[in-house]
Amino acid sequence: MELTHPRLSGPRTAVVWAALRRELDRHQGQSLTVLDAGGGTGGFAVPLAEAGHRVTVVDASPDALAALTRRAAEAGVADRVRALQGDADALAGYVEPASVDLVLCHSVLDVVDDPAGVVAAVAAALRPGGAASVLVASKAAAVLHRAITGQLAAAAELLADPDGRVAGRDTVRRRYDADSAAALLRAAGLDVVEIHGVRVIADLLPAAVADADPHAVVELELAAAAHPPYRDIAAQLHLFARRP
């Protein structure tokens, strides 16, 4: 499957796929070694394998890995997808250090015990010049979402909490802003090359509006993604980084 396939161009992931495509285009024709840390059921891993890359997914969940394995088989790319149960902060047990061209770490730093340990493992897995695609939840978007849905106490709590979470009833352990996420990556020795907002407007639109012209929504997402303040109120932040 081409990585321009419409299935990959929905407004929720268009900005991430655009960044990945730019990286893959730099290596035109090459089959890259990709590691998806916490890759789950393979929403990114399987299309990358379909595009000819060799993808190792390390995930803590056996159920997610079983779904990934089924999905890879259905797509005819089982030979290019390796599914391994393990911890994202111990990637050295699954891939050679400094061997990977591209590491994905999407929606994982929000939930793990030790985000700095995971980022250190991601950096160590990358070959010099290799790239990391990191997706994290945005604190600002979570505050705004609660506020506009009338959860004012939760919005205030989340705003005041250094980790950007609501005690006892939150789906994630921490949220980030562009500076805190970039600092986490830089502390592991990675160069942060680009920061984009993901789902700047896609989550704000009523479905009827979004469905009426999905192409226009994607175009607006792509246009707004790099620019503060739009970037900074997006539901997620995408950081593209490189190992020097």
Ligand X SMILES: C[S@@+](CC[C@H](N)C(=O)[O-])C[C@H]1O[C@@H](n2cnc3c(N)ncnc32)[C@H](O)[C@@H]1O
Query: Is the omega angle on the peptide bond into residue 229 within 30 degrees of 0, that is, cis?
Result: yes
87 forms part of the interface with ligand X (CB under 6 A): yes
Number of amino acids touching ligand X (CB under 6 A): 16
Give the residue among 72, 89, 67, 75 at the shortest CA–CA distance from 188: 89
Per CB under 6 A, which of residues 149..208 are in contact with ligand X? none
Q: Which of 61, 62, 76, 229 binds ligand X (CB under 6 A)?
A: 61
Cβ proximity to ligand X: between 35 and 58 the closer is 58
Per CB under 6 A, which of residues 25..54 are in contact with ligand X? 38-40, 43
111 forms part of the interface with ligand X (CB under 6 A): yes
141 vs 13: CA distance, rounded Å: 16
Nearest approach in angstroms of CB 65 to ligand X is 8
Q: Which residues pair with 103 in a beta bridge?
A: 35, 132
Give the residue among 151, 212, 137, 144 at the shortest CA–CA distance from 181: 137
Q: Which of 68, 103, 112, 182 binds ligand X (CB under 6 A)?
A: 112
The answer to whether 181 touches 134, Cβ cutoff 8 Å, is: yes
Cβ proximity to ligand X: between 67 and 156 the closer is 67
Q: Which residues pair with 12 in a beta bridge?
A: none
Instruction: Kindly indicate which of the ranges 70-78, 107-115, 205-213, 231-239 contains the residues binding ligand X, using the contact rule CB under 6 A.
Output: 107-115
